[in-house]
Amino acid sequence: MTQSKRETERKYAAPSAGDTAWLRELTGADGVVSVVERGSEDLDAVYHDTEDLRLAGASATLRRRTGGPDAGWHLKLPLAGDSREEVQAPLSQTVPDDLRDLALSRTRGAPLAPVVRVRSTRSTRHLVGPDEKVLAELTVDSVRAESLGGTTTLAAWTEMEVELAEDADPAVLDLVEKALRKSGIERAAHPSKLARALEETGLSAPRLPDARAERVVPGSAGDKVLRYVDEQVRTLVALDPAVRRDLPDSVHKFRVACRRLRSVLRSYRSVLDREITDPIREDLKWLGGELAEARDREVLEERLDARVGAAPPELVLGPVAARLKAWHVAGTAEGRRRTLDALNSPRYLALLDSLATLTQQPPLRRKAGRKPRKAMPKAILKEYDRLAARMAHALDLPPGKDLDKALHEARRAAKKTRYATEPARASLGAPAKRLGKRVKAVQKVLGDHQDSVVARDTLRKLAVAAHAAGEPGFTWGLLYGQEQAAAAERERQLPAAWADASKRRLRKRLAR
């Protein structure tokens, strides 16, 4: 059983022995009424990682700690700024399975073993504000570190840490830092005890292979595409633990990262060798498909619940809400099972390895060295041409199943076109942003239409089940009609949205 919390903290070089001026500065800091001694304690932490330090390389840590009020296993995952998420599990002799799974996207299945032991004698003070509210916790640690597994190397140092109290204003950290700087105390050079322990005991986190730096021309089309690929891979890896814990919107964001990766690898085949990237694209397609049921159910439930909630009570006949709930629960369980099966599969681990190799040893083609303004517009315009062909076909069709299918294909092409503009926006500027924005508007109309298609299919199945159970079918027919009307409205809106996105000047400016 795990629990998690968000911690926001900053590390500082320790004050000189016997120096107490910094304490006086803290007491005088805005909002700090007093600094209260809380005593000292001994902490003993053994950090676990892979042989090549994959967790450390991803700014994550896994430790087994004894001593202190939160003894147990701690997995720390990076968040924005000074924050991290700490997932805790009870003490045990081996790494808890839950934490091993949450670290999987970073370890890629490599074995975990002890790498460093860090023992600390910690003295703690609370920074207290008005109404005796604790604003932050300040600790000074006397640290002793030793490497494990091979030749033992020892290191020792002292450091200070300020951690924001729960529900406290983040501005407190800035006020404390200002007071510490007045006493000559600056930020620590290392972001964590582990980072310093690895360095001072002769270990180090893995770095990007020199082969990439040697091959990638700074500012080139290849450089821009790889930066985008890096960003999406990092996003996917970071979201994996959230998906495993079923956090809100995590599956959606994870699938978007998969789609963006698939699209950029397709659109920029002139930059990255497709013999390497096409198998990765197939695996990303598989992964997105395995997670589709969970996400699609979530979207559809919200849509149908909103429809039922907006209907006048006198028009909701029979156990409509209860049947919707039962449908959602049954489907959610199946979608959740498929999601976890996919994330724990050998194919997913192989995909993570392939993505790591792709970013560290990119299969660059000759055109990757070209300037972005030469290579990138062509890739975007190829995707646009595919979109234009699908839109022309769809707009010639009468309402019906053939049109529904054609609009769905056009929606997919719109996504690919929009995603193709994203790596190029820093280089091509406003023209790429503007085209992407206009295509996104088309994609939204098409997406709403497709949601209606899926909703109608589901409503029909629910109506059939309700009829078989002897329940009234009136409300299901009402909802179906609303979805038909919504689809018709999107079909009316589409020509204008497409006319706005298909203006020739958008593409001419892109190609300048």
> 387 pLDDT band (50/70/90 cuts)?
very high
**What is the mean pLDDT of the segment spanning 410-415?**
98
Burial class (CB in 10 A: 0-12, 13-18, 19+), 321: middle
Predicted confidence (pLDDT) per residue in 289-346, tens digit: 999 988 888 889 899 999 999 999 999 999 999 999 999 888 888 899 999 999 999 9
3-state secondary structure (DSSP) of residue 131: helix
Predicted confidence (pLDDT) per residue in 220-257, tens digit: 999 999 999 999 999 999 999 999 999 989 999 999 99
Angle 186-187-189 from CA coordinates, rounded to 5°:
120
Global model pTM greater than 0.85:
yes
Predicted confidence (pLDDT) per residue in 113-122, tens digit: 999 999 999 9
Rounded Cα distance between 202 and 155, Å, is 10
CA 241 from centre of chain? 9
Q: Does the pLDDT of residue 152 top 90, yes or no?
A: no
> 2 pLDDT band (50/70/90 cuts)?
confident
Predicted confidence (pLDDT) per residue in 471-510, tens digit: 999 999 999 999 999 999 999 999 999 999 999 999 999 8
Q: Please report where in the chains the tokens 């997913």 appear, as a residue.
A: 348
**What is the mean pLDDT of the segment spanning 152-163?**
93
Query: What pLDDT does 208 receive?
Result: 47
Ranges of each domain in the chain:
3-200, 208-307+331-370, 372-512
Q: Does the pLDDT of residue 284 top 90, yes or no?
A: yes
Rounded Cα distance between 178 and 172, Å, is 10
For residue 11, report the phi and psi dihedrals to the nearest 5 degrees: -105, 145
- What is the secondary structure of 151-188 as a DSSP string? S--EEEEEEEEEEEPTT--THHHHHHHHHHHHTT--B-
Q: Looking at residue 30, what DSSP letter applies?
A: T
CATH H superfamily, domain 3-200: Hypothetical Protein Pfu-838710-001 (2.40.320.10)
Query: In which region does residue 181 sit, left (phi positive, over 0), alpha (psi from -120 to 50) or beta (all else)?
Result: alpha
Query: What pLDDT does 206 receive?
Result: 52
Query: What pLDDT does 511 receive?
Result: 73
Rounded Cα distance between 512 and 508, Å, is 7
> Which CATH number among 3.40.640.10, 3.30.450.40, 3.30.1050.10, 1.40.20.10 corresponds to the domain 208-307+331-370?
1.40.20.10
CB 394 within 8 A of CB 312: no
User: In terms of DSSP bridges, do strands 154-164 and 61-66 run parallel, antiparallel, or are they unpaired?
Assistant: unpaired
Q: Which helix (DSSP H) or strand (DSSP E) does residue 117 occupy?
A: strand 113-128
Range with lowest mean pLDDT among 348-357, 405-414, 502-511: 502-511
Rounded Cα distance between 372 and 313, Å, is 58
Mean pLDDT of the chain: 93
Q: Does the pLDDT of residue 25 top 90, yes or no?
A: no
Rounded Cα distance between 172 and 41, Å, is 25
